[in-house]
Structure 1
């Protein structure tokens, strides 16, 4: 993705393998824009409020949700406001609910919900559908904003982890999914930075040891 009219850009994406410097560059871009009085917002990897990604969010059949609501009726009010209905299923921002409840949600309930995590607890096609719809919603909301949004890693790294590492869906499915996202965001005139370290193996090993 390239852009010959930077003044029209509403989306900046920073990508690269773990340890390549994505967070550092993302914060730097955000700081530079602020210095020049350009309105911007930054969403790093793991942000529970990410507008185009799902971080620690589950997708659960409503019948399972109703069963859990019955079993954990004394604490389910902590979760109810973080549930979005989607036909016969529900989208549950379980980590955000736990944060809001100050860890009052029992670990047994938390793990039951986490079992349906969007990134690795649901079928590949449903994951792709949810993510494409999430990006569509973000683009729609971004149209009326006079600001630049900066994303770290949600365009390539996160789909790569889900489709290639977790689901083994294959390169073709991964490429198809990324191209669908690219098609959705073109109207935002995105700029993509890809950080490629000189020694990929050394970078991955350093991240592994640090983690």
Structure 2
């Protein structure tokens, strides 16, 4: 059977996005149905991006002021999931105070156990749907990066807790016969500083702030770019350990040279000639 899911993982600035886009294009070139979802996609079928989790009373308060909130709301287990980023995209004039309130209730701001339960159920629903199609999905960063962002960086949880979370995710997606492509950067500092130079200042400031002001960074008195690099190095170490525990295929692509040609050749060999992805 053809795999239904290709996961692209790696640190920020490693080349995940370019790799995911290239993999998606190669799948299309082989006449396969492929769907690409990059980091930050508000329409992601297996993750929550810009979604707030509200109690009924909180939601009713918002509804009284904003009647159209219902269009962007999904009822879940006695609570309400509000796709506030999508709402704001369609209504740019939405006041900043409202958005700020919803951001504070974002799924990625919830206590870990509640957050985890929402994500696991989202993945379960996605897998059930994906098994009914002939589409191969290409996901950037939502399998390792996002769980570690909340589990390791935000809450500084024990490694055993992180491993258990990834193990549960892996069990859910295993029916899709996934393949994980890990875009590896041997020199974390070099690749991150490269990303800082190439991306907007606002991105760098926001990234450094988040990585050093959450529990992991605070508990170790980390700050600035140097502190962020320390966190990234730890995250990479955890990710590499997790790769060895996964019950499905993992391929590591060393992207130290950031060579588009080398990446293309590597992906072509993987996608066009490998029976693990395309039926032989």
Q: Give the alignment's TM-score, normalised by structure 2.
A: 0.68
Q: What corresponds to 1:4 in structure 2?
A: none
The one-character-per-residue Cα deviations of 1:118-148 (angstroms, maximum 9, x if unpaired) are 112x111000000000000000000110110
Does the 8 A contact of 2:63 with 2:70 survive in 1?
Answer: no
The structural deviation recorded for 1:38 is 0.8
1:42-53, aligned counterparts within 5 Å?
A: 42-53=36-47
The counterpart of 1:55, out of the listed 45, 49, 54, is: 49
Q: Larger relative contact order (C-alpha < 8 A, sep ≥ 6)?
A: 1
Which of 122, 126, 133 is equivalent to 2:121?
Answer: 133
Work out whether 1:149 is the aligned partner of 2:137. Answer: yes
Give the distance between the partners of 1:170 and 1:111, measured in 2 at CA. Answer: 31
Match of 1:9 among 3, 6, 30: 3
Separation of aligned partners in 1, 2:173 and 2:166: 11
Q: Tell me the residue number matched to 1:34.
A: 28
The residue number in structure 2 matching 1:113 is 102
Secondary structure class of the residue paired with 1:59 = strand
Corresponding residue of 1:177: 165
Conserved? CA contact 1:124–1:169, under 8 Å? no
Task: Give, in angstroms, the shift of residue 207 of structure 1.
Answer: 2.5
More helix by share: 2
User: Structure 2, unaligned stretches of length 5 or more?
Assistant: 205-280
SS of 1:79's equivalent in the other structure is helix
Task: Give the secondary-structure state (helix, strand or coil) at the position aligned to 1:81.
Answer: helix
Deviations 1:79-124 (A, max 9, x none): 21111112331111100111122x132111111111101112x111
SS at match of 1:19: coil
Unaligned runs of 5+ residues in structure 1 are: 1-6
Q: Counterpart of 1:23?
A: 17
For 1:170 and 1:57, the matched residues in 2 are separated by 26
Query: How far apart, in 2, do the equivalents of 1:19 and 1:158 lie?
Result: 15
Kept in 1, the 8 Å contact 2:63–2:69? The answer is no
Return the TM-score normalized by structure 1: 0.90
Q: Residues 45-66 of structure 1, C-alpha deviation per residue, up to 9 Å, x if partnerless?
A: 0000000010111111111121
Following the alignment from structure 2 to structure 1, what is the Cα–Cα distance between the partners of residues 5 and 31? 16
Aligned 8 A contact 2:42 2:86 in 1: yes
Between 92-101 and 136-145, the greater mean CA deviation after superposition: 92-101
Matched residue SS, 1:119: helix
